[in-house]
Amino acid sequence: MLEKEEIFSKVLRAGRRTYFFDVRATKADDYYITITESKKFTEEDGSFHFKKHKIYLYKEDFTAFAEILEEMTSYVLNHKGEEVISERHQKDYKKEFFSEKEETILAEPKINSFTDIRFEDI
């Protein structure tokens, strides 16, 4: 499916992720929004690739989408605050309740259990 040129765009760079917000036009010349997450992955040899995920958001869903997004973000901020507390964002973050064996297992590299399939591969 070929998409028309963007009419209005904004970009949010967030670490390894980049979010693209684009207004596009339908064949009937009505507008809709695409939200694309692009995440950079670096291989051991230094090469890299991007994985992209896209959401299409149509006008009839704008109000409900905005309301739920506001509700969800408020819930997270009200219950956990704005401070980032994940292992990925804090190198010295350590869960107190893990045993030594569990910490060793968590420190070992994880093997992805899925394959990145591209549409060109099908």
Task: Tell me the CATH number at 44.
Answer: 3.10.450.700
Q: How many domains does the chain have?
A: 1
Name every residue whose Cβ is closer than 8 Å to that of residue 86 and which is 6 or more positions away in sequence.
93
Query: Is 114 part of any domain?
Result: no
**37 and 52 in contact (C-beta within 8 Å)?**
yes
For residue 82, the cross-strand partners are none
Instruction: Tell me whether residue 113 is in a domain.
Output: no
Tokens of 91: 């190198």
| More confident call, 40 vs 95 | 40
Tell whether 37 is covered by a domain.
yes
* Residue at 121 is within a domain: no
Kindly report the backbone phi and psi dihedral angles of residue 101, in degrees, each rounded to the nearest multiple of 5, phi listed first: -65, -45
pLDDT band at 12 (very low <50, low <70, confident <90, very high): very high
* Per-residue CA distances from 39 to 3, 95, 98 (Å): 21, 27, 30
Top pLDDT among 6 and 100 is at 6
Q: Give all strands (DSSP E) within the chain, no chain letters.
A: 8-14, 17-25, 31-42, 48-58
Q: pLDDT grade, residue 89 (50/70/90)? A: low
Q: Is residue 58 part of a domain?
A: yes
Beta bridge partners of 11: 20
What would the pLDDT profile of 18-49 be if each residue is shown by its tens digit? 999 999 999 999 999 999 999 988 888 888 88
In a domain, 117, yes or no: no
Range of the domain at 44: 8-106
Task: Calculate the average pLDDT of the chain.
Answer: 78
* pTM of full prediction above 0.85: no
Would you say residue 1 lies in a domain?
A: no
Domain membership flag for residue 24: yes
